[in-house]
Structure 1
């Protein structure tokens, strides 16, 4: 299966631009690109993530059950190479990230087996990072 690596772009609403800038830059280690007083671009493993200021809404986090875990909805993320996922997860643990779902293997032994983890940014946005040992399993049924 051929995989195109076309970068994607996603805008994430945040209610505290300075706090989230520090989180994405310092905690996650993403390189900052262009910015204004209302938004900041980041290099998200070769993709463009833009955090945009939006007043806090007060909405509760919603979850759906997946593989016996409560997965936050909505969430944003990226599929990483297996080794990158492992080192990124280790780095986040050393920085004291509080995981919504700790790094683990989802659908173990089944089609679509993957490593995954979820955590929240300071604005409460759920982020998911995942990896497949076999990228052909990305859309496996």
Structure 2
């Protein structure tokens, strides 16, 4: 398994609402789709959203993007309409400045999709 790609599967309440979020706010392009699911390519990875009654039940991070500049990425997401940034005070070894958390050299920010799935953007 060490030489194979991994695909992130994300359960969503409403496929139309979710696809609008992933396409218009995260600027992901549809790669493939079928009844009840849509596949996006992001870097060398795939992210598949699919309709499920179990969506939004994961209270931990679903997936993370590593970017060159966390602050500018957050600003781009905000300008695209992402407004669900999460603030976690009391993370061990981390400080927070607005929506950006920092642990050592790594900066992190989390946001939710319309189904409540949590995603992370991290980098420097």
TM-score > 0.5, shorter chain as reference: yes
Partner of 1:67: none
Aligned to 2:109: 117
State how many pairs are aligned. 112
Contact 1:103–1:115 (CA under 8 A) maintained in structure 2? no
> In terms of Rg, which structure is larger?
1
CA RMSD of aligned residues (A): 2.6
Task: Give the whole-Å Cα distance in 1 for the aligned partners of 2:56 and 2:9.
Answer: 19
Change in CA separation of 1:6 and 1:86 when aligned onto 2, cut-off 3 Å: farther
Structure with more relative contact order (C-alpha pairs < 8 Å, separation 6 or more): 2
Is 1:14 the counterpart of 2:12? The answer is yes
What does the per-residue CA deviation read over 1:63-108, in whole Å, with 9 as the maximum and x for residues that have no partner?
A: xxxxxxxxxx32122242323x34321111213322113542412x
How far the C-alpha of 1:37 sits from its partner, in A, is 2.0
Q: Would you say 1:104 and 2:100 are equivalent positions?
A: yes
Unmatched segments (≥5 aa) in structure 1? 62-72, 134-141
How many Å separate the matches in 1 of 2:100 and 2:38? 31
Partner of 2:120: 128
Aligned pairs (5 A) from 1:1-141: 7-55=5-53, 59=57, 73-83=59-69, 85-98=70-83, 99-101=85-87, 103-107=99-103, 110=104, 113-131=105-123, 133=124
Residue 53 of structure 2 aligns to a residue whose secondary structure is coil
TM-score by length of 2: 0.75
